A and B are shown apart, each in its own frame.
Chain A
Amino acid sequence: MTVQITAMHMSDGLVNAPTSVVFGILAIAVVGFCGWRARTELDERTVPLAGLVAAFIFAVQMINFPILPGVSGHLLGGALAAILVGPYTGVLCITIVLVVQSLLFADGGVTALGMNITNMALIGVVAGYSAARVLYAVVRRRRPDSVPALGVVGFLSALVGTVCASMGFVVEYAIGGAAPTSLSTVAAYMLGTHVLIGIGEGLITAVTVMAVARSRPDLVYLLRRDREAVAA
């Protein structure tokens, strides 16, 4: 059997068909819900940034960085997207990236798309954004306008988002895994590698969020959310 080792996301066939269908339906429901809720985050002013964030995440996901000898990792982007453009729009950004990668670039299986969306768009954004909200609430009281503090929030929330997203695969493998490898081996290996990938993800997220916050703090969702709450 010949294998493609250039793939970056879950391929078809790793998890059985019923499980793939269930996660496919879940992904469609999540994307529909986020499309409806994203109206509260998107207006003429923020649409261009949201489009560029999606394209940026596509580009950065191409850059696999080494984490161990013979093992690499790449950005998932959930926390980054949610901090910059909001959680609902963030889920849509990552979903668009995953769909284009799967259909045009043969990266990530078509039947595995539901699981890849669940892991990287849904879990990555929910976990990453929740962590960012909690951490930013702590930081804001002491250093309200500090860009480096926002960078620390970005780093830690991206790390949390990446590790949680990788556990999504472990859950899917536990439900419908079609292979001999033991669940504990998969879980331990995924956790170990994704802590390291999360550090890379954290650095990229921190640098990007700080760059946007330095020149256009008015566009950063996590910052403007609080300001609009105060104004309203």
Chain B
Amino acid sequence: MSAQAVTRRWQFWVGFGVAILLIAGVVSYFASSSPDGLDSATLQGCQVVDTEHGEQLTGNCIAQHATEHTMSTSPLADYTIFGHSGTNGPAGIIGAAVVLAIAFGAFWLIARTRRTKD
């Protein structure tokens, strides 16, 4: 492989990694905070009302049956670090790194079973 081809290969992997870091760490601050298609489907029939205890649902809808998340006390709950506002970026980068580590590990193990079998 020529030196130029080696450089281009590195550019691809570095570019992919930088794209992930920018999306998780920077673009995430600009994400819409509106409920998504599924959440708004579960909110059909309800009104969201602001009260002193936070947002409450009035009416009749699917979302009223949602229970508190079992992991809501996780240090990374709701894409923040310990619930601090403005930490979505670092929380996102940690998440992407965790996913990369688990996926790479799992896929490497799967690929290795194939090599030993062949």
Contacts and interface: CB of A to CB of B under 8 A. Distances in A.
Given A64-B31, A189-B44, A55 B103 contact: yes
Nearest to A63: B31
Contacts of B2: none
Given A73-B36, A173-B62, A55 B20 contact: yes
Contacts of B92: 59, 62
A177 B62 contact: yes
B98 to A, nearest CB: 6
A39 B109 CA distance: 10
Given A6-B79, A179-B61, A47 B108 contact: yes
B8 A193 contact: no
Interface in A40-80: 40, 42-44, 46-48, 50-56, 58-60, 62-67, 70-74
A107 B79 contact: yes
Contacts of B108: 47
Nearest to B24: A59
Contacts of A67: 37
Contact of B62 (A59, A103, A179): A179
Contacts of A216: 9, 12
B106 A190 contact: no
A186 B23 CA distance: 32
Contacts of A107: 78-79
Contact of B44 (A105, A186, A215): A186
13 contacts: A2-B53, A5-B33, A5-B39, A12-B67, A51-B103, A56-B20, A101-B95, A105-B91, A106-B72, A110-B69, A169-B38, A181-B60, A215-B8
Interface of B: 8-9, 11-13, 15-17, 19-20, 23-24, 27-28, 30-42, 44-45, 48, 53-57, 60-67, 69-72, 74, 76-79, 88, 91-92, 95-100, 102-104, 106-108, 110-111, 113-115, 117
Interface of A: 1-14, 35, 38-40, 42-44, 46-48, 50-56, 58-60, 62-67, 70-74, 89, 92-93, 96-97, 100-107, 109-110, 166, 169, 173, 177-181, 185-186, 189-190, 193-194, 196-197, 215-216
